[in-house]
């Protein structure tokens, strides 16, 4: 919109020509960036004429208004569901129906907690027809860690919906509709995102999964080097803006996964927030017991602003994990216990388990996350 050429605005052709040729002003952005006085100088016109040009340019660039009622009616009549059911009843209810379409949802958590499992399960569900609660379309899965497993996809499909996936045909349909892209570097990822729009339209994609956005960024940017932090924040903000744009214009849900980091300092309350992050890496030894530090979602404050919904997964003990709705414009803070089984994620309703998860709502950028310290030795959960 902002790069719209002046030519198409209906201004006088000689004026447009003159501007383009001599002053290099050819798009709306060039006009709106300049001060009135500058424009008068460049166009050699008086104040009211310049005002007319600016108004015409603004009118062309500004978005068209709609009312909230029209939006609601458009949503009802468009046929595409406003929410993508996760098939986890408690979570769906808290989220008003499921993962919202047209926005970016983030799943953050420690290694091995179930983020990729969640993504694989949602990919299966997205390919199911709408009558079964799916999105009836293709899935684009952007994999930065090479964690995607087609075998697991098939296993989840088989165990979750045995009726539907009862013959080879159904499996064929499922697997041919999930498009996996491996993007091991930041530039690969950025290029892939930029060319995504055409692919989404062409292949009728109804869900985009990016697993994970944190790994490439943390590999390539070293926060201790000067300027790197600013660059990283900029890149993430650009990616977030692009993902949001795609989600909204095509009205599809986009899921992004994130890692964890350790923050230092005893009190994590109040408006004073603390030291810069230290990358905790992805290993199981990510102990949070570093002098009163605690583990939380990675990528910093600006990224936390950029995602619309944030789900945090964490360990409760060796077998049970928990998913929390940490940030959502539509759902209150809530948490659910689950386990990972062959059919994917399964919620647990057991009363006993609830007691061990006393959650207090707080800043979604600062929620402490429990990690697993010892592998399968039946002990030691580090609670910050």
Partner 1 sequence: MSRHVGSYPLPPYLKTKLLAGGFSTVEDLEDLKPVELSKELKISPEEALEILRVVQGVQNDASSPSSSDEAVKTALDLLQEERHQGCIITFCSALDELLGGGVPLTKITEFCGAPGVGKTQMGMQLAIDVQIPCVFGGLGGEAVYVDTEGSFMVHRLEDMAKAAVEHCRHIATVENNREQLEAMSDFTVEHILSRIHFYRVHDWVELVALINILPEFLQQHPKIRLVVMDSIAFPFRHDFEDLSLRTRLLNGLAQNCIRLADSHKAAVVLVNQMTTKMGHSGDGQAHLVPALGESWGHASTIRVLLFWEAGYRYARLYKSPTREEATVPYQVTMAGIRDVCIPNSTQDVTSDMSQEEGTSHGDHSQRKRPRVS
Binding to partner 1, residues 250-289 (CB under 8 A): 265, 269-276
**In this chain, which of 150, 201, 289, 361 binds partner 1, going by CB under 8 A?**
361
Choices 71-79, 109-117, 287-295, 344-352; region in contact with partner 1 by CB under 8 A? 71-79
| Least distance between partner 1 and beta carbon 140 (Å) | 19
Question: Which of 101, 69, 79, 82 minimizes the C-alpha distance to 244?
Answer: 101
Handedness of CA 85, 88, 91, 94 (dihedral sign): positive
Cβ at position 75, least distance to partner 1 in Å:
6
**Closest separation between CB of residue 103 and partner 1, Å?**
6
* 216 three-state secondary structure: helix
Which residues, including other chains, have CB under 8 Å from residue 359's CB and lie 6 or more apart?
Answer: 324, 333, 335
Nearer to partner 1, 27 or 282 (CB): 27
Dihedral (Cα; 238, 244, 247, 249), 10-degree rounding: -90
Helix (H) or strand (E) holding 149: none
Beta carbon nearer to partner 1, 201 or 273: 273
Alpha carbon distance 75, 78 (integer Å): 5
28 binding partner 1? (CB under 8 A): yes
Q: How far is the CB of 358 from partner 1 (least distance, A)?
A: 11
219 binds partner 1 (CB under 8 A): no
Stretch that binds partner 1, among 5-13, 190-198, 220-228, 243-251 (CB under 8 A): 243-251
Q: If you search the block for the tokens 């408690």, which residue do you land on? A: 90
CB 286 within 8 A of CB 320: no
In the complex, least distance from residue 208 CB atom to partner 1, rounded to whole angstroms: 15
Nearer to partner 1, 174 or 295 (CB): 295
For every residue of 267-316, DSSP letters joined together read ---SS---PPPEE--SSTT----STT-EEEESSHHHHHHH-SEEEEEEES
Contacts with partner 1, 142-181, as mask; x by CB under 8 A:
----------------------------------------
> Going residue by residue from 312 to 351, which x/- string records binding to partner 1, judged by CB under 8 A?
--------------xx-xx-x-------------------
85-144: contacts with partner 1 (CB under 8 A): 96-97, 100, 102-104
Residue with tokens 């930041």: 186
Task: Please pick, from the candidates 24, 48, 68, 376, the single residue that binds partner 1 as defined by CB under 8 A.
Answer: 68
Query: Quick check: 247 binds partner 1 (CB under 8 A)?
Result: yes
Task: Return the residue of 201, 241, 289, 383 that touches partner 1, per CB under 8 A.
Answer: 241
Instruction: For residue 383, state whether it binds partner 1 (rule: CB under 8 A).
Output: no
The structure tokens 């007691």 sit at: 355
35 contacts partner 1 (rule: CB under 8 A): yes
Alpha carbons 294 and 90: distance in angstroms, whole number: 28
H helices of 82-195, where? 89-94, 115-127, 150-160, 168-176, 186-194
In angstroms, give the least distance from the CB of 175 to partner 1: 32
CA dist., res. 266 & res. 277, Å (int): 14
Min dist CB 109 to partner 1, Å, is 17
Q: Is 167 helix (H, G, I), strand (E, B) or coil?
A: coil
Task: Tell me 64's DSSP state.
Answer: P
Q: Is 26 a binder of partner 1 (CB under 8 A)?
A: no
**Counting contacts by CB under 8 A, is residue 194 touching partner 1?**
no
CB 312 within 8 A of CB 324: yes
How many residues make contact with partner 1 (CB under 8 A)? 71
Q: Kindly tell me which of 44 and 70 has the beta carbon lying closer to partner 1.
A: 70
Q: Is the CB of residue 112 less than 8 Å from the CB of residue 259? A: no
| Whole-number Å distance between alpha carbons of 349 and 81 | 27
Interface with partner 1 includes 225 (CB under 8 A)? no
Least CB distance from residue 2 to partner 1, whole Å? 3
């Amino acid at each position: 919109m902002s790069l719209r050429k002046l030519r198409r605005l209906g201004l006088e052709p000689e004026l447009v020509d003159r501007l383009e040729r001599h002053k290099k002003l050819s798009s709306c952005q060039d006009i709106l960036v300049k001060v009135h006085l500058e424009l008068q100088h460049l166009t050699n016109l008086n104040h009211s004429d310049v005002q007319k040009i600016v108004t015409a340019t603004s009118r062309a660039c500004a978005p068209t208004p709609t009312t909230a009622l029209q939006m609601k009616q458009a949503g009802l009549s468009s046929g595409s569901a406003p929410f993508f059911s996760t098939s986890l009843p408690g979570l769906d209810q808290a989220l008003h129906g499921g993962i919202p379409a047209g926005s970016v949802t983030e799943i953050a958590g420690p290694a091995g907690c179930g983020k990729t499992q969640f993504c694989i399960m949602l990919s299966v569900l997205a390919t199911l027809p709408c009558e079964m609660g799916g999105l009836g379309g293709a899935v684009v899965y952007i994999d930065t860690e090479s964690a995607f497993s087609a075998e697991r996809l098939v296993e989840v499909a088989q165990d979750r919906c045995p009726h539907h996936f009862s013959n080879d045909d159904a499996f064929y349909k499922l697997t041919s509709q999930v498009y996996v892209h491996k993007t091991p570097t930041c530039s690969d990822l950025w290029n892939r995102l930029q060319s995504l729009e055409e692919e989404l339209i062409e292949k009728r994609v109804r869900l985009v999964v990016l697993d994970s956005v944190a790994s490439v960024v943390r590999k390539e940017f070293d926060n201790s080097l000067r300027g790197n932090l600013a660059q990283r924040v900029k890149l993430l903000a650009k990616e977030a803006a692009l993902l949001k744009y795609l989600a909204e214009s095509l009205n599809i849900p986009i899921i992004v996964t994130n890692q964890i980091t350790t923050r230092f300092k005893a009190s994590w309350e109040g408006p004073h927030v603390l030291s810069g992050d230290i990358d905790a890496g992805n290993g199981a030894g990510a102990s949070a017991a570093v002098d009163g530090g605690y583990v939380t979602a990675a990528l910093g404050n600006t990224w936390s602003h950029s995602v619309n919904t944030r789900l945090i997964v964490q360990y409760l003990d060796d077998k049970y994990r928990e998913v929390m709705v940490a940030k959502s414009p539509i759902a209150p803070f809530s948490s659910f216990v689950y386990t990972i089984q062959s059919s994917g994620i399964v919620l647990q309703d057991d009363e006993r388990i609830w007691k061990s998860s006393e959650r207090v709502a707080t800043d979604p950028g600062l929620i402490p996350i429990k990690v697993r310290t010892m592998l399968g030795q039946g002990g030691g959960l580090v609670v910050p």
